[in-house]
Structure formats: C-alpha cells, structure tokens
Amino acid sequence: MLNPKTILRILGLLLIIEGFFMWLSIPVSLIYKEQDAWYFLISGGITSLTGAFCFFFTRKAQLEINKREGYVIVSSGWLIFSLFGTLPFLLTRSIPNFTDAFFETMSGFTTTGASILNNIEELSHAVLFWRSIIQWLGGMGIILLSLTILPFLGIGGMQLFAAEVPGPTPDKLHPRVKDTAKRLWFIYLIFTFSETILLWIGDMDLFDAICHSFTTMATGGYSTKQASIAYWDSPYI
C-alpha cells in the first residue's frame, strides 16, 4: 500500500529546496540593478511555503519508503518541480504563456535543452541565472540532492536511489546511499567550479562563465546568448 503522507513529506522537502534555489537569483537581480528580485522572492516564497506546509503537516508520517513510493516520489517530483519552476518565468513575464514556460522548465530540469525562446539575450540576468540553475539541478538529479538530507530526517533513501538512477541494477559507489550522494555532488561541484574558473580566464565574464558551467555540467546546453558559445568566436572557449 502507498503511504500518501510519506510521499507528501518528501515532496514538501523537495519544494523547500527548490524555493531556496529560486532565491539565489535575487542577489543577481540586485547586482545588475534589475527589477526581478521581488518576483523571485515571491516565487521562492510560494514554493517554499507550499513545501513547508506539506512537510510539517505530515510530520507524523511513516519514515520507511518502499519501492512503489520511491517511484511515485521520483516521477511526481520532476513534474511538481517543473510546475513550480515556471513561476519565475511567468511572474517576470519573461515567458508569459504557461505552456511555453512549462516546456522551457521541463526541458531544463530534464536537461533536454530544447527552448521556445527566440531572443535569449532580452531576458534579465536573474532569469538567465534561474534558467541555468534548473539545468544544473536536473543534471545531477533533484532526488539525488535530497538523498544527502533525508538520512538526517531518519528516512532511508535506497528506494529513491533505485528509482532515480537509470538501469535495472544501479550500483552504489559506497555502501551508504547518503555517502554516495555526497560524493557525487562533491565531484559535480568541483567540476562546475573548475569550468567556471577556466571560462572566466578566457573571454567570458563571471556571470556567463557560471551559467555556462551549470549547463555544460548538465549536458543540456542552455546558453545566455542566442548564438550560444559561437557568440565568443574563441578557440579557447
């Protein structure tokens, strides 16, 4: 039998995490003196408050996750993440149409890289940063991020790991799933940081270097320029 409260509790945690990442675009908006900071504050607030409500409302939920619940959490997690991920696009009017915003967000989180945008450079820096973050999160996997947190809540994550990792028999890099997730994220962060520095040394400014490192690591290909990396016309880049 599925335990709806357990599923809601973990999905609530994921929404809290997503709301936090939305707020990372606020300082970007302030640095570039743009008007989007308020919209990202609202988007992150709606997302985090929804997640907090689900999380605390189900605080007495059973903490064990079976295989069925693992698959439900992973499949619905991507859908819910993408639904709330449209909020910054919609509120800033960067992508005013919900269908287009959902397509762009889902394409980002799944690292598909397809885009409905015809003039990327007209978007604000904060929106471009959020667009890059969703690919970066999707590249490693939202569920894998939560696996570093779930053990502290007394929730085992092996069933989520099995549902998230492709293939019939996913091998663990370490006997404990929490340690596996930590190691994978550590490697992911090191490569992201290294690429950012290398691109910054070249012709890119720091903002473009960070965004392109996010989307390169995810192999999604979102760019801050309409011509992508051809914009720089640099063999080094």
- Phi/psi for 149 (5° steps) reads -105, -35
pLDDT of residue 173: 45
Buried b (16+ CB within 10 A) or exposed e, 114-137: ebebeebeebbbbbbbbbbbbbbb
How far is 126 from 138, CA to CA, in rounded Å? 18
User: pLDDT digits over 16-70, tens only?
Assistant: 989 999 999 999 999 999 999 999 999 999 999 999 998 888 877 666 677 777 7
How far is 234 from 237, CA to CA, in rounded Å? 5
Share of the chain above pLDDT 70, in %: 81
Q: Whole-prediction pTM value?
A: 0.86
pLDDT of residue 32: 96
Q: What is the mean pLDDT of the chain?
A: 85
pLDDT of residue 139: 85
10 Å Cβ neighbour count for 203? 14
How far is 18 from 82, CA to CA, in rounded Å? 10
Share of the chain above pLDDT 90, in %: 57
pLDDT of residue 166: 55
3-state secondary structure the chain: CCCHHHHHHHHHHHHHHHHHHHHCHHHHHHHCCCCCHHHHHHHHHHHHHHHHHHHHHCCCCCCCCCHHHHHHHHHHHHHHHHHHHCHHHHHCCCCCCHHHHHHHHHHHHCCCCCCCCCCHHHCCHHHHHHHHHHHHHHHHCHHHHHCCCHHHHCCCCHHHHHHHCCCCCCCCCCCCHHHHHHHHHHHHHHHHHHHHHHHHHCCCCHHHHHHHHHHHHCCCCCCCCCCHHHHHCCCCC
| Residue 173 or 148, more confident | 148
Kindly report which listed range (13-27, 180-194, 206-220) carries the lowest average pLDDT score: 180-194
User: pLDDT digits over 154-189, tens only?
Assistant: 455 555 555 455 555 555 544 566 677 778 888 999
